[in-house]
Amino acid sequence: MSKCYHCGEEYDQLFQCEKCKQKYCHLHKDPIDHECNLVLESQHLQETSNQYGYQPAGVQEQSALNYNLAPQNLQDQSPYTRETYVDNGERRGTTDGSFTWYRRETNIPENAFDPDSGIEFKGILLPYKSEFLHLLIGAILIFLIGLLGFYNPDNQEILNAMGYGWVIFMVAGFYTTAFLFHEFGHRQVAIHFGLQTKFRLLKFGMIITLFGLAMGVISLLTQSPSLPALALPGAVVVLGLDKVDRTTGLCKAAGPTINLIYGTILFMASFLVPIYPINLFIGISASLNFMLGLFNLIPVGILDGENIFKWNKKVYFFLVISMLVLIVINYICIYAPSNVNPYYNVL
User: Model's pTM, two decimal places?
Assistant: 0.68
Question: d(Cα 254, Cα 289) in Å, to the nearest integer?
Answer: 13
| Residue 244 domain-assigned (yes or no) | no
Closest residue by Cα to residue 80 from 66, 57, 67, 97: 97
pLDDT, the chain, mean: 80
| Residue 54 domain-assigned (yes or no) | yes
Give residue 92's domain range: 2-103
Q: Strand, helix or coil at 12?
A: coil
Rounded alpha-carbon distances, angstroms, from residue 342 to 64, 291, 319, 320: 62, 21, 26, 26
Q: What digits encode the pLDDT tens for the residues 105-120?
A: 456 667 777 777 777 7
| Residue 9 domain-assigned (yes or no) | yes
pLDDT at 98 over 70: no
| Residue 140 domain-assigned (yes or no) | no
State the total domains in the chain: 1
| Residue 47 domain-assigned (yes or no) | yes
Q: What digits encode the pLDDT tens for the residues 231-245?
A: 889 999 988 877 788
| pLDDT score of 101 | 39
| Residue 93 domain-assigned (yes or no) | yes
Rounded alpha-carbon distances, angstroms, from residue 255 to 76, 132, 179, 209, 303: 47, 19, 9, 20, 11
Q: What digits encode the pLDDT tens for the residues 130-161?
A: 999 999 999 999 999 888 888 877 888 888 88
pLDDT at 32 over 80: no
Q: What digits encode the pLDDT tens for the residues 302-344?
A: 889 999 999 999 999 999 999 999 999 999 999 999 888 898 8
Torsion angle, alpha carbons of 114, 119, 124, 127, to 10: 20
- Span 248-257, average pLDDT: 94
- Confidence bin at 250 (pLDDT 50/70/90): very high
Torsion angle, alpha carbons of 226, 231, 233, 234, to 10: 170
| Residue 75 domain-assigned (yes or no) | yes
